[in-house]
Structure 1
Amino acid sequence: MLTAVVRTALIYVLVIGTMRLMGKRQLGELQPSELVSTILISNLASISIESTELPLSASIVPVLLIAVLELFSSALVFCRPRLGRIMAGSPVIVIRKGVIDQAALRRLRFTASDLMEALRDRQAFDPTRIDYAAVETSGTLSVYPPPQPQPDAPPLLPVLEDGLPCPENLRLCGKDEAWLARQLDKKGLQPGQVLLVLTDGAQRVILIPRETQ
């Protein structure tokens, strides 16, 4: 039992030291290579904890090797920025001047629901009022201009995403699927031809047709 405790403490110190060596980042800001390194380190560190018959070197050597490789790749990317684009990719603009770039969403395999969830995480509910939004290489969404709080203004909620109604949001807006069908009929569209329908439950209704591929 004492052996397991000591091994766990040593591995804990090793992992903390390794992560400190690799630098500070929030989990949501990790680049692909950093995320892979973090996952591998956590798995390798558990080997010596779970299998006490193995020597500590079974975890220590691979963990330190991954840390060295991560530091080497970071230095290489710093000296060769083009290599960084190959390894981590480039930001992808998904909204320009209030217009959703649906081709970019398809490349990212982002659904309308994914986009609206990311916008809400930035306190943005109306994509038509956003000049610029981009998915960064870390997977986070950057939005400009920053959404301004509008007291007393009801938020826009998606009541149809990717051709599928959102019953809960319809209910919150005091609407039903019959009302939604009427909005589509006004534009001569079927649900499958629509990317998003947003409404505040009062006057504003935004309908964004799906672009043909």
Structure 2
Amino acid sequence: MKLLIVRTVLIYLCVLFAMRLMGKRQLGELQPEELVSTILISNLASISIESEEVPVTASLIPLFLIAALELLGSILSFQSQKFFNLMSGRPKTVILDGQIDQNALRTLRLTTADLMEALRGKDVFDPRDVSYAVVETNGSLSVALRPEKEPATLSDLALKVQHSQATIPFVLDGQVLDDNLHWCGKDHAWLERTAQANTLLVEEILLLIGNDTEDYFLLKKEPRRTARPLRKEDA
């Protein structure tokens, strides 16, 4: 049992290190070669965990080899557009000026139902409202609406903007995000004043969000609920 625990921890740390080497990508944004690498790494890791007779190196060596190949592929893709197109393909336009390109759908083996589902995911329910839609190399759909269908912005309405920065988190679960504070022109002194104004310590803040104005939203951590002792009448 101890050997299994040690092997599992070792494999976990090595896989984590390999994935960190490969860079940050959300699962839905993986390119084909990245998805293949992820699947292979997970399978190699499970072999050493499940089979104690298999040496750990039997998984670690190919694991880091796959990570190295992924890094090499990323470098070559960065330097050569042709290599990138070969490995990841090219974006494909599926809607242009409200017209669905059926040949493009057939090429991508994408059904009309799939396209409509992807459009609904973008809050678009009528293809005629779309000026341009393209299926990216990672499988996601990018949509540009017709100008008359675009939502109005503050500049369109000629309204004065009260603040220039977006509303972003300053504290998450008691942890201070220094970069966000500085980006909005604030510092730890402002943070301490804000916490004291709410009779709190910074560590007691669950969420604090704001922008470059004095407006903010603060949420206090709630104490953990303890189990209520059982009374006789409850029994």
**Is the TM-score greater than 0.5?**
yes
Aligned length: 150
In 2: Cα distance, 1:114 partner to 1:90 partner: 19
- Deviation at residue 122 of structure 1 after TM alignment: 1.0
Partner of 2:52: 52
* Number of the residue aligned with 1:202: none
Structure 1 partner of 2:118 = 118
Equivalent positions of 1:153-172 (< 5 A) are none
CA shift for structure 1 position 148? 5.2
C-alpha displacement of 1:125: 0.7
Residue in 2 aligned with 1:136? 136
Checking the alignment, whether the CA contact within 8 Å between 1:98 and 1:127 is kept in structure 2 is yes
1:151-172 deviations in Å (ceiling 9; x for gaps) = xxxxxxxxxxxxxxxxxxxxxx
Q: Which runs of 4+ in 1 moved over 6 A?
A: none
Q: 1:72 is matched with which residue? A: 72
Report deviation, 1:145: 2.6
CA-atom RMSD in angstroms: 1.6
Deviations 1:7-44 (A, max 9, x none): 11111111111111000001111111101000000000
1:131 counterpart SS class: strand
Q: Partner residue of 1:85?
A: 85
- In the alignment, the residues of structure 1 paired with residue 52 and residue 109 of structure 2 have an alpha-carbon distance, to the nearest angstrom, of 43
Tell me, yes or no, if the aligned pair for 1:47 and 1:58 is still in contact at 8 Å.
no
1:69-128: CA deviation from partner (whole Å, max 9, x where unpaired): 110111111111111111111000000001101110011111110000111111111110
Partner Cα distance (1:49, 1:3) in 2: 10
Q: Distance in 2 between matches of 1:45 and 1:123?
A: 40
Q: Taking structure 1 as the reference length, what is the TM-score of the superposition?
A: 0.68
| Deviation of 1:149 (Å) | 6.7
- State the distance in 2 between where 1:148 and 1:46 align: 48
Q: What does residue 39 of structure 2 align with?
A: 39
Is the CA contact (8 Å cut-off) linking 1:14 and 1:60 kept in structure 2?
yes
SS of 2:123 mapped into structure 1: coil
Cα distance between partner residues in 1 of 2:123 and 2:58: 46
State the TM-score, normalized to the length of structure 2: 0.62
Name the amino acid aligned to 2:121: D
- The separation in 1 between residues aligned to 2:4 and 2:151, in whole angstroms, is 53
Larger radius of gyration: 2
How far, CA to CA, are the matches of 1:41 and 1:138 in structure 2? 20
Query: Match for 1:17: what amino acid?
Result: F
Counterpart of 1:20, as a letter, is: R
Percent identity of paired positions between Structure 1 and Structure 2: 59
List gaps (5 residues or longer) in structure 1.
Answer: 151-213
Q: 1:149 & 1:121 partners in 2: Cα distance?
A: 17
Contact 1:97–1:128 under 8 Å retained in 2 = yes
In the alignment, is the contact (CA less than 8 A) between 1:93 and 1:134 conserved in 2? yes
Q: Give the aligned partner of residue 95 of structure 2.
A: 95
Looking at structure 2, the residues matched to 105 and 131 of structure 1 have their Cα atoms a distance apart, in angstroms, of 17
Unaligned residue ranges in structure 2 (runs of 5+): 153-235
